[in-house]
A and B are shown apart, each in its own frame.
Chain A
Amino acid sequence: MLTFLARRLTHLIPVIFGVSVAVFLMIHLIPGDPARLVAGMEATPQDVENVRRALGLDRSLPIQYLTFVANALTGDFGQSFRTGRPVLQEIGFRYGNTLALGLAAVVIGTLLGIATGIVTAVYRGTWIDNAVLAVSLLGISVPTFFLGLLLMLTFSVYLGWLPLTGSGTWQHMVLPAVTLAIPNAAVISRVTRSSLVEVLNQDYVRTARAKGLSELVVVNRHAVRNALIPVATVTGLQMGYLLGGAVVTETVFAWPGIGRLIVQSISARDFPVVQASVLLLAVTFVVVNLLTDLVYRVLDPRIELK
């Protein structure tokens, strides 16, 4: 187990290093001049040059990269070009917001997904099964931006129950979380169904059934727990992916999360913020995937930890 973990962790280091180089190169390839954007439209050329020097953009690219890496290793990610605030401060609360939204979406999505998954497995082959399949396909066919707008129209504009966009209270979180949860639920529902069906066809379940227990009891007592192993895995992967920044959903709902921050910072050419947040997301993403992998291996003894 430990050697497995150690091996996977050492495998991560070149990936994260690679990501840092890739991000650095890519943001510098984006056309536009950060100094000019910071200085504003009405700035004089002299102002722009002053800003360029102040931001350290007059140095060569390799120097800029090495400075970034050296500082980053000591936990200093520099200051935002836009606000002058330390990047970590800039990212911090937004990361928390993304985390909160992601967790809410995973909880809603998983509960909904497991419930419908069980129902479809029990009633497999019936119209209920087909209807839920169709609905879950619908769930993954709706673009999040459209789903978000529809929910806003319904619950904010017409019913007036929930705020349209923004953040601050739990009510603000409901619509974006549901928007993210729906496709999520669709996936979990299908995974639950297929793994439950597989379990239900196994001998010990047949035995239980032969003992005369009702289908519902069989499902509840014997099948669900085993069937949930792959579901747990999928949920973990979804979590990693939702942390990865639900850029579109955050944009639609003006949710002050890290995905939206990245999009805004790219257009403002706020290089330090883009660099640090993309790196942070990438690290989170690979780490969550690794954890999920571990959990999967722990839960499912059939897989050997090499």
Chain B
Amino acid sequence: MTTKAQEFPFHLHSEAIPLPPQLASDDDPAPRTRGQRVWRQLRKSRLALPGAGLVLFFVLAAIFAPVLAPHDPYANDLVGMLAPPTWEHPFGTDELGRDILARVLYGARLSLAEGLFSVALAMAVGVPVGVISGYVGGRTDTVIMRLIDIMLAFPGVLLAIVIVSILGPSLINAMIAVAVYTIPIFARLARGSTLSVKEEPYIEACRAGGMSHIRIIVRHLLPNIASTLWVMAALRVAMAILTASSLSFLGLGAQSPSPEWGAMLANGRNYMLIAPHVVVFPGAAIVLLVLGLNFLQDGLRVALDPKMAER
């Protein structure tokens, strides 16, 4: 029904396009041995460790923002506005004289939350829907997949934009919108994986042995499709951060004075001509965090897929 090409997730959504993760297609074998081999491969990938380093850096920044920040990220200083970087304000100040370094540090919390929360929510809905659709099959499957098709027919961030417009612009609503538009991706992936695992002899055996469906799904099916889902989750965290910050940039996400990076860029662009530092630092922060996640994800993909490593 679906071609292999359609299973590349990158064409599905958002203006930021992830790499085609070969592993993300359903027919990838789950890694048989984990632990050491994965770790070795992860270390072999030249990008995984720098990626992990970057991500860790931002996690620490988020946790220790109150300690690290040189100033209150909300404190106005209407005299020292749009000041270029100095020792006092290493990243300069914004249009209300607020310290940009402090805001970038606090913003790490919001961006990480965006990524984790939206993906978690999308998985919490999408995976059960996809598994049920694939496992039950028949009319249920048809109806669910039609609904998913309708969701997928909204190109780009359009669906997210409409949802945020309904809910009202705020960070939490932007995260919900990103989650909603990520749901089809997990639903489809979970469904595809379920379909391929469902026919495996051991599942058949369980069914013949009279095991309940729920037990089969929870004990045998989910563990077998988990690694595929986790790789996709890792990929989508980066995407979710980009999408949520895009919404904030459009004024549909985090609202001032929240130091969300996309929102900071949206506000800063009006001052870009006279104070470029206002957009450069929050922008660089997004790039580095997302880059770290993508590096890490690429390494993870190689590590979990031995075929890839040979190439």
Contact = CB atoms under 8 A, between A and B. Distances in A.
- A–B touch (CB < 8 A): the answer is yes
Q: Interface residues of B: mostly helix, strand, loop or mixed?
A: helix
A26 B159 CA distance: 10
A184 interface: yes
Contacts of B265: 145-146, 149
B168 interface: yes
A14 B19 contact: no
A251 interface: yes
Contact of A285 (B147, B155, B294): B155
Contacts of B291: 137-138, 141
B161 interface: yes
B249 A137 contact: no
Nearest to B308: A194
Nearest to A17: B150
A223 to B, nearest CB: 14
Contacts of B56: none
A60 B256 CA distance: 37
Contacts of A143: 16, 242, 245-246, 249, 262, 283, 286-287, 290
Interface in B216-267: 238, 242, 245-246, 249-250, 262, 265-266
A186 interface: yes
Nearest to B13: A241
Given A138-B291, A145-B265, A247 B18 contact: no
Interface residues of A, number: 72
B189 interface: no
B155 A244 contact: yes
B250 A30 contact: no
| Max count, chain B CB within 10 A of own CB: residue among A16, A284, A285, A303 | A285
Contacts of A247: 15, 156-158, 161, 250
B162 A144 contact: no
Contacts of B3: 293, 296-297, 303
B58 interface: no
B158 A190 contact: no
Contact of B249 (A29, A145, A184, A233): A145
Contacts of B293: 141
A22 interface: yes
Interface string B267-297: 0010011001001100100110011011100
Interface stretch (B4-12, B61-69, B94-102, B123-131): B4-12
A106 B161 CA distance: 24
Nearest to A153: B276
Q: Interface residues of A: mostly helix, strand, loop or mixed?
A: helix
Interface in A267-306: 267, 278, 281-282, 284-286, 289, 292-293, 296-297, 303
A303 B19 CA distance: 24
Nearest to B19: A190
A26 B166 contact: yes
B34 interface: no
B78 interface: no
B154 A19 contact: yes
Contact of B157 (A138, A248, A267): A248
A281 B150 contact: no
A143 B244 CA distance: 10
B156 A241 contact: yes
Contact of A292 (B5, B272, B286): B5
Interface stretch (A48-56, A67-75, A258-266): A258-266
A130 interface: yes
Contacts of A233: 5
Contacts of A249: 15
B17 interface: yes
A30 B8 contact: no
B160 to A, nearest CB: 10
B156 A259 contact: yes
Interface of A: 14-16, 18-19, 22-23, 26-27, 29-31, 124, 130, 133-134, 136-138, 140-146, 149-150, 152-153, 157, 180, 183-184, 186-187, 190-191, 194, 197, 230, 233-234, 237-238, 240-241, 243-249, 251, 259, 262-263, 266-267, 278, 281-282, 284-286, 289, 292-293, 296-297, 303
Interface of B: 3, 5-6, 8, 10-11, 15-20, 22, 46-47, 146-147, 149-150, 153-158, 161-163, 165-166, 168, 238, 242, 245-246, 249-250, 262, 265-266, 269, 272-273, 276, 279-280, 283, 286-287, 290-291, 293-295, 298, 311
19 contacts: A15-B150, A137-B19, A137-B291, A137-B294, A143-B16, A143-B246, A149-B265, A152-B272, A186-B19, A187-B18, A187-B20, A194-B22, A197-B311, A244-B158, A248-B246, A263-B161, A278-B158, A281-B155, A282-B153
The 4 A-B residue pairs whose C-beta atoms are closest, nearest first, are A244-B155, A237-B11, A146-B283, A141-B291
